[in-house]
Amino acid sequence: MHVKNSFLLLFFAAVSIYNGGCDMQSQNNNRISINTGSNEITGGGCEDCELMFAGMPETITEEHTGRGWVEGSRKLMLTGTVFKRDGRTPAKDVLIYYWHTDDNGVYIPDQNTPAEAERHGRLRGWIKTDETGRYTIRTSRPAAYPGESVPQHIHLSVKEPELKDPYYIDLYFDDDPFYIPHRKKYGRADRGGTEILRVVLDGNIQIAEHNIILGLNIPDYPKLPEDKIKSGLEIGEDQPSFIPYHAYGPNKGTRACPVCTYGRHHGILLFAGNKTDRNEIKAWLKFLEKESIERGEHLKVYFVFGNSENYDFSSRKKDLEELGEELGIKKTAITFVPSFDDTESEAYLNKINPDAENTIIIYKHRVIVDKYVNLSPVKENFELIREVLEKTRGEYFELPTPPHD
Ligand SMILES: [Fe+2]
């Protein structure tokens, strides 16, 4: 999200003064930064980076209960795991500082707020991950700036032990009516993974389970060794919606969108493209169908065939109907798209490499929690997928979600 003209810059500067001086970092280019002037700062620097250290306690643990938990009208627990860039290895000793508005949408300090951090208000705190990468912040859900259409948000500053500079992450809420107009206007940043929090309800407590993938979508972050073959979006990003054609399965003849129809619990998308061994696909489908039936409403599986060679709608449909019948498919959706570049079905959003033999995306509550490329359908890998489903369930898997506006 970049401000396009100086009028907007002035506008946001005015908003920030009104709200206690907190600029939306990603909208603001005139940052006061300790790193200004360098283009090699991980994350591009941030406004107020140094304020994360103002008044920081000596002992910080993986849990923090802040003043918001006591005084706020909407209790919010933000919790999850911080992973390294691979999306799978828990990251320890990561320092995370948060700050956000109160019930009135403003940043008001109290007697404990150091003078230099007054513009961050009193609802601020720190966690440091342990060896499991887990963190929990108990606070209140922030309100939007009064009289403005900036969505409710939480600011994080992340300081990794191996990196010199902290970088920022801004988080929003998917049930906030201001969020979608804001995203349409400014795009999304998805720093450290999806920028969207999706809450579930435990009585009157809103729980937002949110994993952070260090370095994901962070500019100038140290690069990972390249995968042999790249395919699909990254662990920690949102699973986009798209509308493949259903050749077989419970939504046969429709174009039901996988994540929209069954996004709440676990979903598995098995993509196969131009270089696909039919027997391997059958083996995967047999395993995934069985797994999906066993897990009931907690797992929905989609096969998305995107072979663009000799593509013809009718023959592809017939071919996949025969495949579904042969395997006795009841629950898995057997779907196809003309190609993985297809814009009409929006299949292109998945960034699937058509030359990968398969790409397996596992998502939970619309966020990608694991991914495999060219995984063979053998017993060890079936076990691996089962383990991923168990490991990524989390404590709040069965809790309900609030109604959305
Ligand atoms: Fe803010």
Break the chain into its structural domains and give their ranges: 6-213, 245-391
What pLDDT shows up at residue 40?
Answer: 63
β pairing state of 95-100 and 154-159: antiparallel
Average pLDDT value for residue range 224-239: 87
All residues with CB under 5 Å from ion ligand 1: 22
Query: What pLDDT, on a 0 to 100 scale, did the predictor assign at position 204?
Result: 94
Q: What is the per-residue pLDDT across 150-199, written as a single tens digit (0 to 9) for each?
A: 999 999 999 999 998 899 999 999 999 999 999 999 999 999 999 999 99
Q: Tens digit of pLDDT for each residue in 20-78? A: 334 454 443 323 233 333 456 777 777 788 899 999 999 999 999 999 999 999 999 99
Instruction: Check pLDDT > 90 for residue 333.
Output: yes
Query: Ligand 1 mean position to 123 CA, how many Å?
Result: 12
Summary mean pLDDT of the chain: 89
pLDDT band at 18 (very low <50, low <70, confident <90, very high): very low
Q: How many helices (H) and strands (E) does the chain have?
A: 7, 17
Average pLDDT (125-150) is 97
Return the percentage of the chain with pLDDT > 70, whole number.
89
Span from the CA of 181 to the centroid of ligand 1 (angstroms) = 17
Instruction: State in Å: Cα 154 to ligand 1 middle.
Output: 7
The C-alpha atoms of residue 91 and residue 69 are separated, in whole angstroms, by 26
Cα gap 220→203, rounded to integer Å: 42
When pLDDT is averaged across residues 233-262 and rounded to a whole number, the result is 93
Question: Does pTM top 0.85 for this prediction?
Answer: no
Residue 15 has pLDDT above 80, yes or no: no
pLDDT of residue 1: 33
Q: How far, in Å, from the CA of 203 to the mean position of ligand 1?
A: 27
| Distance, CA of 173 to CA of 144 (rounded, Å) | 11
Strands (E) across 224-344 are located at: 245-248, 266-272, 299-305, 333-336
> Who has greater pLDDT, 146 or 9?
146
- Measured in Å, residue 275 CA sits from the centre of ligand 1 at 48
Higher pLDDT, 12 or 204: 204
The DSSP bridge pattern shows strands 212-213 and 205-209 to be: unpaired
**What are the tokens at 134?**
């887990």
Residue 82 has pLDDT above 90, yes or no: yes
Look at domain 6-213 and name its CATH class.
mainly beta
Residue 107 Cα to ligand 1 midpoint, Å, equals 8
Q: What is the mean pLDDT of residues 347-375?
A: 96
Q: Is residue 12 pLDDT above 50, yes or no? A: no
pLDDT at 85 over 80: yes
Distance 380 CA to ligand 1 centre (A): 47
How are strands ordered across the β-sheet holding 359-364? 245-248, 333-336, 299-305, 266-272, 359-364, 367-373
CA of 373 from ligand 1 middle (Å) equals 38
At residue 242, the pLDDT reads 97
- What CATH superfamily is the domain 245-391? Glutaredoxin (3.40.30.10)
Question: What is the pLDDT averaged over residues 199-209?
Answer: 97
Ligand 1: distance of its center to the CA of 53 in Å? 18
* Six token digits for residue 368: 């990608």
Q: Which of 110-119, 135-144, 224-233, 275-284 has the lowest mean pLDDT?
A: 224-233
Residues 6+ apart with CB under 8 A from 235: 83, 86, 87, 88, 193, 213, 368, 369, 370, 371
So what's the pLDDT on residue 260? 82
